[in-house]
Chain A
Amino acid sequence: MEAFGLLLHGFAVLLTWKTLVLMMVGLVLGIFVGVLPGLGGPNGVAILLPLTFTMDPTSAIVMLSCIYWGALFGGAITSILFNIPGEAWSVATTFDGYPMAQQGRAAEALTAAFTSSFIGSLVAVLLITFLAPMISSFALKFGPPEFFAVYLLTFCSFVGLGREAKHKTVISMSLGLLLAGIGMDTVSGNLRMTFGSAELLRGINFLVAVIGLFGISEILLTMEERLALRGHAASISLRVVLGVWKDLPKYWATLLRSSFIGCWLGITPGGAIAASFMGYNLAKRFSKDPESFGKGRIEGVFAPETAAHASGTAALLPMLALGIPGSGTAAILLGGLMVWGLNPGPLLFVEHKDFVWGLIASMYLGNVVGLVLVLTTVPIFASILRVPFAAVAPMIVVSCAIGAYAIQNAMFDIWLMLGFGVVGYVFKKIGIPLAPFTLALVLGNRAEDAFRLSMIGSGGDLKVFWSNGLVGSITTLAIVLLFWPVIDGMLSRVGWTQRTRATSP
């Protein structure tokens, strides 16, 4: 009940004209970046972050998180109308969403997608409301070994549970951790990996890296492809919306199952992509008529959208409660918190109650407003795609440059951004994942500090990571997750588990 009272306080913080206007602006910008090919949630948040530098933290995070919700909603528009998944997690939505549009049921498919997105997010926000304060108050008892163990768990689960080749995830993560260490060592004051460069004394700001990795590289990748589009236009009427909503109870099991999968994969770093495919596959497996999937079945839209949005939202839970982001976008939001001088993690719930509960309240309100906004403005946003990409691309480049420069007012950062753009382009094309890189760049210094403090405390004895039940369990779990593919293979060989793979219909 305490959470409920604090949430009401959050709504009181939030319900000012200024914040509501920022929320609307964030949602519109978010849907815009979600619809445009070549942009998406992480890019949108990273590029628009500098706009929020002069705002108070609550207004800033509300606007940024609304960009995130908006981008999540916007992705479904291109998937269903154009068969182009704006984000990887929208791929599963195209399986049944596009056939529905071809059958003249685009409005129905879009309503299903937006509604299920809302339901998935709502379940995850409820989880955050009631679970995050409990986790954070528990985490207040953590010392450096416990924190390092949690960081280790995050890194190991990325390696063990990720879909990419393991060595590529290891390369991405270790590179991110190394780059995070460039500059002045916070403990001893020594310079590391600067090679005499005055520019590198500041270190590499992770937002500059993110803008290059996600923004510039995405422009290069998008330009490389054919940009001709042919799709269906659609407007949504109240009759269609009410028709879809009336049928919702029929799909309660799919919605509940997908929400659960999404929340689980959001908290662990499984991610929205895995969640959407798993949601889709399980809906198909439990269906009485699995053959109809892929031919325009509404459940095939409900399942992946619910799971993806539950996952995207739940990824904010570990960020708020422990200071460990569950996704790339959550990592960028966490970077934003640090820019405003806030220290993400358990103390946030104690020291900045207004901020945390304002943010949680904005998740509820942002989703409701977002749902209404997308249902009423689909034709406008779909027509954005008529704008030639040759006009959009240089504008995105300029926005990226503004974002990169504004962070530290350094020209060097513009060049770094460009360099990271090339790195991102090459990495994406050869399958080196960027999410572990971003996460490592954000958490690198904190993980190192926790490790060094633990080692100083124990006199260099690694047994400190098994010194009590809690830290021992987390460290052991981290190692189990690191070797999960091997363990899973062994278990499946003896018939204990059955390997599941994401498949298209």
Chain B
Amino acid sequence: MSQTDLEIVVDDPTAPEDDSPSVVSSGTVEIVVCLLLLALAATLGYDNWRTGASWDSTGPEPGYFPFYLSVILGGGSLYGLIVALLARRAASETFVTRAQARRVLAVFVPTLLFCLVMQFLGLYVASFLLISGFMRLVGKIALWKSLLTAFLFTAIMFVTFDVAFDVIMPKGPLEAAFGR
């Protein structure tokens, strides 16, 4: 029997407000991305030209294929740039609102710190810090739940990868103290 009278409700206390002002429009981001891609195409194209983008006695030189791809990428980016510049006159969509940007940064900054900390403390300690910190600070979840979840998840990952499947992960001083 279907139990459609039962509902699953999950609330999001930190949901972004609907009326949050726009930080940047999609059109502007498209222009920036096209300019960056154009610069990348020029850089890679130059490097391939320098490596050799023509023919020698053995056939196409190493830069031949990627050089023409750089030209295609440059052409596509230039076309995209013109389209984005022309479309900018019309009403442009919001790329991200201030509330959304805050939430994206709330994930991105901890992830960046996680990658940085991993180099010094190893993957498992960094994972524990990321999960517990994120759950507590961003999700406002009870401290004991955050610490327990982080510990269990990190332990499961350690047993799965390092012990069971022998996939070696970056280690730090804590693992060294335990002789791993």
Contacts and interface: CB of A to CB of B under 8 A. Distances in A.
Co-assembled chains A and B: yes
Interface of A: 50-51, 53-54, 81-82, 101, 104-108, 165, 167-168, 170-171, 174-175, 177-178, 181, 185, 187-188, 190-193, 195, 216, 219-220, 223-237, 239-240, 382-383, 385-386, 388-391, 393-395, 397-399, 401-402, 405-406, 409, 411, 414-415, 418, 421-422, 425-427, 429-430, 432, 448, 451-452, 455-456, 460
Contacts of A81: 8
B69 A177 contact: yes
B65 A402 contact: no
Contacts of A390: 134-135, 138-141
B8 A402 contact: no
A181 B115 CA distance: 27
Interface centre among A174, A237, A240 (most CB of B within 10 A): A174
Given A167-B83, A430-B29, A456 B58 contact: yes
B21 interface: no
A233 B96 contact: no
Given A106-B4, A193-B44, A406-B161, A227 B12 contact: yes
Interface size, B (range): 35 or more
B16 to A, nearest CB: 7
B173 interface: no
B177 interface: no
B134 to A, nearest CB: 4
B169 to A, nearest CB: 6
A373 B105 CA distance: 38
B169 A167 contact: no
Contacts of A429: 26, 29, 95-96
Nearest to A234: B2
B65 A181 contact: yes
Contacts of A240: 2
B12 to A, nearest CB: 4
B107 A192 contact: no
Interface of B: 1-4, 6-12, 15-16, 26, 29-30, 33, 37, 40, 44, 47-48, 51-52, 55, 58-66, 69-70, 72-73, 75-77, 79-80, 83, 95-96, 100, 103-104, 106-108, 110-112, 114-115, 118-119, 123, 127, 130-131, 134-135, 138-141, 149, 153-154, 157, 160-161, 165-170
B26 A216 contact: no
5 closest residue pairs by CB, A with B:
A390-B139, A107-B2, A456-B59, A233-B6, A394-B134
Nearest to B139: A390
A236 B1 CA distance: 7
Contacts of A223: 103-104, 106-107
Given A181-B65, A223-B103, A228-B15, 6 more contacts: A50-B161, A192-B48, A228-B12, A390-B134, A394-B134, A427-B33
Given A393-B107, A460-B59, A174 B141 contact: no
A393 B75 CA distance: 38
A383 B7 CA distance: 10
Given A171-B37, A223-B107, A383-B8, A452 B130 contact: no
Contact of B44 (A178, A395, A460): A178
Contacts of A234: 2-4
A398 B131 contact: yes
18 contacts: A106-B2, A171-B73, A175-B40, A190-B62, A223-B104, A224-B96, A224-B103, A382-B8, A385-B10, A388-B135, A390-B135, A390-B141, A395-B131, A398-B157, A406-B161, A429-B29, A452-B65, A460-B60
B16 A224 contact: yes
A448 B141 contact: no
B55 A460 contact: yes
Contact of A394 (B103, B115, B130): B130
A188 B157 CA distance: 42
Most chain B CB within 10 A, of A168, A181, A390, A418, is at: A390
